[in-house]
Amino acid sequence: MQIPLLLRHAGWSGRGMGVLLGAIAVLGQAPFHYWPLTVLSLAILFGRLQWTAELDRPGRAGFSAAFWWALGYFAAGTFWIGSAFIERGPEFIPLMPFMVGGLACLLALFWGLGGAYLARARLSGLKAVLAFTAVFTLAELARGHALGGFPWNLPGYIFEAGARPSQVARWVGAYGLSALVFLISAALGQFIFWRKRIWPLAMTALPVVALYGVGQMRLAQADIESVPGVKLRIVSVPFKQSDKMNPDTSIDIVNDFIRASLAPGLEDVTHLVWPEGAVNGLALENEPLLSAVGNSLASVDDTPPVWLMNSLLTEVEQGRTRYYNASVAITFNADGYPAVAASNRKYKLVPFGENIPFMDWMEDVQVPLISTNLASISPADEKRLADFPGLPRLSPQLCYEIIFPGFTPIDLKNPPQFILNQSNDAWFGNYIGPAQHANIARYRAIETGLPIVRAASNGESAMIDPYGRRYKKVKKTGVFHIDTTLVKPLKINNKTKITQLVLLLLSLLTCVIVTTVKHRNMVLRAKITDV
């Protein structure tokens, strides 16, 4: 068979083609959601891996084909991380290409290993389709968990959260939906490049039809109810992170938050929600700030709302001061006097932003952090649920904690009723990062059946229903807050981690079966040839 020119690219031209195809695949992610482009790009990767299997050194060629595709995908999908270095200051900019490029290379390694396996296995037909699905599902599970994990832009996220195809994540999770994307893409590749039978076309079309059909039925039955007695005011004032780090402009930003909090209708609000980063550093030790907020709220309402904000907490352990990032609930009396009612510490920390390896030694030699923290942040011992005044039980998830499927703690005797996601997306700049973060966060609502109260500086702040839809959203222009009821949850899904384990085992079993069948067929053909 004549190999199509698109699949015959080798050397640096082939690597460049792989990077370009991977970058195009990012257009399936938020904010674009041109998901057919991602599927087509993966279909071409499937064809390239089939071609590399015919070469003399298939493992090396397969690694290269998958690695360069993934490098383009991850580099184009996470380039916005460079904004954090720019916002932090000129001395951090030289580190930007090494950190951003290094992250993309690290994530691409998982795909490269998968490509090497597929090329060496030299599978064809249905076995190749199933193996492609299984191997890259394993690659995504690995990058989502290894070394702390970074499950950003999973292929399943090409379907906008809240839309019909996304609803299937309720049962199979984001990783299961990603496996379906791999299956659809591989079947399409089999049909495009090896059009001998009709089954690849059916394997491409039927899952897509099922995704839309099942999603339509689920959304048609959606019934949204509100928690009585709770009225939230979500405040989200846009700002540049560099202005927030400047003492001359930082106070103006805080004053903007206070003014937005005092907007008409405050007397009906029970809880005031501010995002992460609205206040710098040790906010609980900033008495002028607490007094200003308390007095301002009390001047409008003699029963001030509970203030949900973000602050660093300190503890002295073995002679060393430890810092913890935390969601905090503050109550006020009629005179505006503040009291810390509850807090919940962050467990998943941003590597090299909030937390650095060998942090004690790094602090001793005064290595600067990318973030504005006073020092490296320590993780909580474990992620716990929280009980904040006047609210049903909740799962606070600060910033990047929301990107991990299965992260929400589940207590079946007293389960959470919603997720509180406070984030500082100002670090992401005005590129695609905030939109990706919001889409990923909304998938947690679909998976768990829990609504999400999301306050994100320079990102999407909204009340998100259990179907991943925006129940109410803060507009970025003119209005910096919304008043909303708290949506009730659906029946909680506590099987997300079990689903991931089942998917892991099924993928491993598929790899074993298809390679075993391939080996037996080769042995049989060899015996027949000898005869």
Length of the chain, in residues: 531
CA distances from 339 to 51, 184, 255, 336 (A): 66, 54, 21, 10
What pLDDT does 72 receive?
A: 98
- Set out the domains of the chain in order of their start, with CATH numbers: 9-220+496-530 (no CATH), 226-487 (3.60.110.10)
User: For residue 407, which phi and psi values (nearest 5 degrees)?
Assistant: -80, -25
Distance (Å, whole) CA 51 – CA 8: 8
What pLDDT does 524 receive?
A: 53
Verify whether residue 475 is a known catalytic residue.
no
What pLDDT does 83 receive?
A: 85
Verify whether residue 399 is a known catalytic residue.
yes
The model carries a pTM of 0.93
SS3 238: coil
Q: Of these residues, 87, 140, 276, 401, which one is catalytic?
A: 276
Q: Of these residues, 244, 346, 348, 383, which one is catalytic?
A: 346
What pLDDT does 420 receive?
A: 98
What pLDDT does 377 receive?
A: 87
What pLDDT does 358 receive?
A: 57
Q: What is the DSSP string of 359-392?
A: HHHHHHTTPPPSSS-SSPBPPPSS---B--TTS-
519: which 2 tokens?
A: 């080996």
* Residue in the structure block whose two tokens are 């550093």: 281
**Other C-beta atoms within 10 Å of 512: how many?**
11
Q: Of these residues, 87, 399, 401, 511, which one is catalytic?
A: 399
**Each residue's pLDDT expressed in tens, for the chain with a length of 531 residues:** 455 667 766 788 889 999 999 999 999 999 999 999 999 999 999 999 999 888 888 999 999 999 999 999 999 999 998 887 787 777 777 878 888 899 999 999 999 999 999 999 999 999 999 999 999 999 999 999 998 899 999 999 999 999 999 999 999 999 999 999 999 999 999 999 887 789 999 999 999 999 999 999 999 999 999 999 999 999 999 888 888 888 888 999 999 999 999 999 999 999 999 999 999 889 999 999 999 999 999 999 899 999 999 999 998 877 778 899 999 999 999 999 999 999 999 999 887 777 665 555 555 656 555 555 546 788 999 999 999 999 999 999 999 899 999 999 988 899 999 999 999 998 888 889 999 999 999 999 999 999 999 999 889 999 999 999 999 999 776 678 999 999 999 999 989 999 999 999 999 999 999 988 766 655 555 555 555
Verify whether residue 160 is a known catalytic residue.
no
Distance (Å, whole) CA 250 – CA 254: 6
Q: Is there a cis peptide before residue 238, judged by omega within 30 degrees of 0? A: no
Edge-first strand order for the sheet with 226-235 is 338-345, 320-332, 306-317, 271-273, 226-235, 481-487
CB 434 within 8 A of CB 456: yes
264: which 2 tokens?
A: 């008409």
Angle between helices 125-145 and 496-530 (to 10 degrees): 140
Q: What is the 3-state secondary structure (H, E, C) of 223-236?
A: CCCEEEEEEEEEEC
Distance (Å, whole) CA 352 – CA 291: 34
SS3 462: strand
Distance (Å, whole) CA 198 – CA 177: 24
CA atoms within 13 A on the CB side of 518: 18
Residues 6+ apart with CB under 8 A from 186: 42, 43, 46, 128, 129, 132, 133
